[in-house]
């Protein structure tokens, strides 16, 4: 019986944390040493709903939902860095996302067309030393991640990239898949996803 309980615990831990893939540029520490400010742009988002759920949404509703998800992840990622800045665990500044989004809007750059720009071009437009961007996919919108419990099939994947502004070089690629307990808010989800990455990102001290 004790063996069965142990196996169950290990299985639950597995489905909670899922798979993690992390690439870090060998020169990341050296390059990041010259950085003073970084920016996070809205994430490209996709939501995979069940057929019954899809019947309640039009194509425009789904596109709006995915857009909202992208901005929610941007906001949660910004909050994650900002909290570390406030407690002295972040070595650089993080651009306020209200400024980031305003600048992009003035340049007519949105989630619909931002992939037409290179990371270097986006970073230059935002006047930052590095840019954080990525993709987010889930089968349950983060705005609805309330009351999630063990045993369901909820899942989310964040694919995060950090690019150097000077040459557009990839500094970090972090892909994290979480299944099972996803938390109760976008902030909870990002905290769970970034828990391991924080130990490997040169900007953070923890």
Residue 168: its pLDDT value, please?
95
pLDDT at position 68 over 80:
yes
Cα within 13 Å of Cα(118), Cβ side:
10
Give per-residue pLDDT as tens, 5-49.
333 333 333 333 456 788 999 999 899 999 999 999 999 988 776
Residue 142: its pLDDT value, please?
64
Residue 15: its pLDDT value, please?
36
Residue 78: its pLDDT value, please?
94
**Higher pLDDT residue, 169 or 200?**
169
Give per-residue pLDDT as tens, 146-162.
333 333 457 788 899 99
The whole-number average pLDDT for the span 185-196 is: 78
Whole-angstrom Cα Rg for the chain:
18
**Higher pLDDT residue, 70 or 58?**
70
pLDDT confidence of 183, banded at 50, 70, 90?
Answer: low
Question: For residue 177, which of 13, 16, 9 has the smallest C-alpha distance?
Answer: 16
Residue 146: its pLDDT value, please?
38
pLDDT at position 110 over 60:
yes
Residue 55: its pLDDT value, please?
61
pLDDT confidence of 139, banded at 50, 70, 90?
Answer: confident
For the chain, the average pLDDT equals: 80
* pTM reported for the whole predicted model: 0.81
Cα within 13 Å of Cα(97), Cβ side:
19
- Taking the CA atoms of 116, 71, 137 and 189 in sequence, report the sign of the dihedral they define: positive
173 phi, psi to nearest 5 deg: -125, 120
């Amino acid at each position: 019986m004790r063996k069965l309980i142990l196996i169950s615990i290990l299985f639950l831990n597995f489905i909670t944390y899922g798979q993690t893939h992390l690439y870090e540029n060998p020169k990341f520490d050296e390059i990041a040493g010259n950085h003073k400010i970084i920016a996070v742009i809205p994430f490209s988002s996709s939501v995979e709903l069940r057929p019954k759920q899809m019947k309640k949404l039009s194509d425009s509703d789904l596109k709006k939902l995915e857009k909202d998800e992208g901005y929610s992840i941007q906001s949660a990622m910004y909050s994650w860095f900002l909290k570390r800045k406030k407690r002295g665990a972040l070595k650089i500044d993080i651009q306020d996302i209200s400024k980031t989004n305003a600048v992009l809007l003035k340049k007519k750059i949105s989630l619909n067309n931002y992939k037409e720009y290179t990371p270097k071009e986006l970073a230059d437009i935002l006047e930052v030393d590095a840019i954080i961007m990525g993709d987010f996919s889930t089968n349950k919108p983060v705005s609805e991640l309330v009351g999630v419990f063990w045993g369901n099939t909820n899942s989310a994947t964040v694919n995060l990239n950090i690019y150097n502004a000077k040459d557009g070089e990839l500094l970090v690629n972090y892909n994290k898949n979480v299944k099972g307990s996803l938390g109760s808010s976008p902030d909870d989800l990002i905290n769970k996803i970034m828990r391991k990455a924080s130990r490997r990102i040169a900007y953070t001290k923890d």
